[in-house]
A and B are shown apart, each in its own frame.
Chain A
Amino acid sequence: MHEAYTYQLIQDKPPLEVTALCSYDNKLFVGTKDGILLIYEINDNDDAFNVSLVDSRKDFTKKEIKELYAIEGINILLCLSDTQLLAYNLETLQFITQVAKLQGVQYLDIYNSVSKENEVNLFKNDINIENNNNNINDNNSNIIIKLALAIRKKLIILQWNQNSFEKLNEFNLSHTIKTISWGKEYTLCIGFARNYAFIDLSTDTIDYFSLGNSLIDLTSFTPSKFTKVYTNSLPNNQFLLTKDDASTYIAETGQPLKSVNIKWSAIPLAVVYMHPYFIALLPQMVEIRAFNSGILIQNIELNVTNAVVSNDILFSSNDKDLYTIIPIDFDNQVVQLLNKKQFSESLQLVELYSSIFTPDEKVAEITRIRSLEAKYLFKEEKDYERAFGIFLSLEIDPNEILQLYPMLDSNEEILALKNSKNNKDESSFDKLQSINHLVHYLTEQRSRLTKQRLYLLSIQNRSSMPKSFSNSTINSYLSAAVSEFSLSTIVYYRQLSLPDVEALSNVIDTALFKVYMIVNDALIGPLLRVHNNCDMDVCESLLKSQNKYSELIDLYKGKGYHKKALDILITKGESPDESMYGPYHIITYLQKLNKTDFDLVLEYSVWVIEHYPEESLEIFTYEKFSGDELLRGIIVDHLEKHSKDVCIKYLDYIINRLNDSSSENHNKLASYYLEKIVSLKEGDEERKKYEENLKNLLEKSTCYSPNLILSQLPKQSLYEIRAVLLSHIGEHRKALSIYFNELNDPKMAEQYCIKYYNPEDEKVKDVFFTLIQIHLEKEKKEEISDDVLELLNKYGAYIDAAKIMEIFPESTKLNKLGIYFEKFFQELMNRKHNQKIIYNLLKSEQLQVREELMNYQSQSIGISEERVCKKCLKRIGTSVFVKDSNNSVIHYGCMKSKKK
């Protein structure tokens, strides 16, 4: 309950009993029991409101004035007196005529197309009234005025025509008429004592309706002085039918609407509709109810019997006095309710006054009331659950909510609260409760901000995206994203620009950080690692004060302060009692850095290389870095400076694992191996390992420069490696001689020959011959030794007899060479047969091809004047053409473009 209306006594009144009221323009006509008409003037300006008696007409009528109706547009004042309907000039108040000479008129209602339109417009929108008034004044000739008169059971319809009322129709109804109300131009609602009827004038049909049990128990009906039936025509073509102490809504079709029924505190003498309220005049008081719900709003203790609405003011009277009942404006009403903390009533009021708001204004007003409610729940009731239920449903500036948490502004208080978690102290317990609820609010705001950010970016991208990029998939994602945004009723976030979003996101994320610090510090790390706008200084100082170094590193990393993060990592890496002791945290950090920050990787890897050379390799072998061949060179240079050992391992990794093919890296690795080998004593296990590695490298790799390595090779040692190198540059003779002379290992020389022999390659086809030659040179005997004979017997097939004969000692006995020759000639015969087979095969292939050629050449097609290309349908003429298997022809050019 609140005050929607206030009243005022009109002082200026003679002691006459008022029986009828009506208003026109700024005039109020008051009819009295004695037939006197009083004329009041209403002065309603911004400064004051007053009503003063300006004139009177004695002997206006002979008997009591029952009803008065001013009809604008045709300048007529109608007066019902002594069951006669009298017409007067509205300006001069001169009597004109008795309408239709009718007697016994009890009730009437007027249809006026001008005022009806105004009513409808008022309901739709206040603003247009003036325009419409102008229009209507221009079209006065089109004005339609109809009267409906009740004479007992008879209903008479009159219509204004030029200068008099003419009878249009007459109905005889089943019961005595108690009330008449016009709806639209052709609909009438007629109330009887027990039921009601709807009349459609366009078809002259009458529909009777029972009031039904829901409204009134008809059996208990006893006629009394107060029993009245009222109908009020409402702007949306509905009616409010009132009988006894109950009112019900009736649709324009005549069916009662069950949704709203009003039960008045007493039987009303009259019910007046004044948007958005119904005002009922009850004996001893005026009752005000909401028009949409029928909820009781206000009771005014005032005994009045008559009422008329004029320009949003209700004039009302009783036997003696005349009152104005003045509406209180919406803002004032809402303040009353809010002061009483009646939030849901305030919202109902907004709903009631819907028509005065634009949709946006309405949402803003609802938001304002809801947020007041939520703050009240938060502060006074400490009902955080409900408060945040409301906050989350609204789109208001999150700063407003954060203002409820002054404790988040001071680091001391944050830490005090953090440490108070196990206390049973009530005030800090309450604070913690409220902070727990803030977590979800803030995370929700984060996602709303993300949405708005993506939305703004998508708009930006769309305007800058060239057409070729807008393929269908991108488009469908975009439109899906955009439609998702437009569906949600973003009020607050919708108006944020990109810089606003970033600024607000800073506030939200920093607050979330603080809240996590207090209630759940395990979530600080995740927050700082995901995309966030946490304030650097605030987070830094809080984290430092709590020695949360791992989170501090996350913070620095997220903000791009890598040096700060790495400095901490090194300090922590050096202290054995820290959880971040050792190289792994820093290695992981360096691995995650971008290639653009590679300078930092190099700078901070030095510490790892120096302290943990083994592990430091993991930094550089990380796929992101080593996959980039440009970076490999930089890494190698860097490692050369700081640790040759690591450098060797790195080179080994990229060559053997990543198949690096840069000759520079291969040469470097070989040189470093050599360096290592030379620095170590012969026989040393490590040296052996290096020798093995070097040999493997030199044997497998084809990327190094053998001459370069040969020049670095120490003299008088590493013969095996020298042999490998010599073989690479084709110096097989030298290589074999090393096996023979330096290494004294004929078996390896033999293996060497098996490995390299290739009859097709000029360089190595005589490698076995060279082997024998070296053998003989070394032995320098008259006779060939058994060793040489054995080699001859084994590999004789690969040694040219003509050449070998020349180098045999002169005293060589031919019978010893029997097996060799046999082998050699067999090999020769073998080759000869092979060649013959190949020759014959080739010959037969040649014949086949020739036959095919002849076959093709025998085919022909004629190109005449009419012959056209199959594709372009133009003449072939003398152009180049192609024939396909169906004997159709096509331009050579056309065929090529067809293939494309």
Chain B
Amino acid sequence: MTTPTPDQIKSLEQSRQRLVQLTHSLGSLITSLNQSDPLPSWPSLQSQASIISSNLLTLSTHLSENHALLRGISAYPAPEFPTKTHANTLEQLLRTKLDPRVEDWVSRGRRADENLVTGATTGTTAGMTAGAGGGLSEGDLAALWEWAPVEANSEARRRNWGGNFTLEERERGVQSVAAELGLRRVLEDEGSEEEDEEEEEEEEEDEMEVVGVRKSVSGTGFEFDIAAAPGVAAQEGGVAPVVPLDEILRYMTTGVPPGQR
């Protein structure tokens, strides 16, 4: 029985630091999930998840690098350890088996790992049975990815996009749908009023603003004309000017006829 060398102590210390980092990032994710209302945005969740995964990665490389040391090392209480006051800590340190809960996690993890490996090696049929375990085989995943974009596209083509609600939802009544989904934000239901669904949502919102502003300045009838105008112009499909504005302005300034410079 020898005392550990400074190098060994250093690597132990490093493992501890990595673990502390991991618990920190896990803890912050849990608190953000528990406490923030509304839930944190997807980007922030994703960045937290990537932090955790990089923590896990560094920890696992560190552990495998120091595998021999961590396997061979064993703890025992020194005579000067305050056993009476820190009995709990001592028990934790002297455990040779894992905590029952932790053992559960580990065995679950190992099972999933085995399933994945066998599924990948034996092909699709094994993957189907393994599906119950919560994973898909590589082949299944590939097939799914091949199927999904085409199917999603054809589904998308079947609908006329624009607005915040589907036709079915509108028929059922927007209010009740909003209540069902627990929507807090009031979404504009544009489609029921005007039919120009090709326009992007942003533009529509802007238009609404324009009309709104005008209403506060003067009467109401006229502004509505303005908002409706682009649709009318598009329907008429009138002739667009053939001489560019710049050419006209150049002619007006210097007398150079359009098309010559």
Q: Are A and B associated in one complex?
A: no
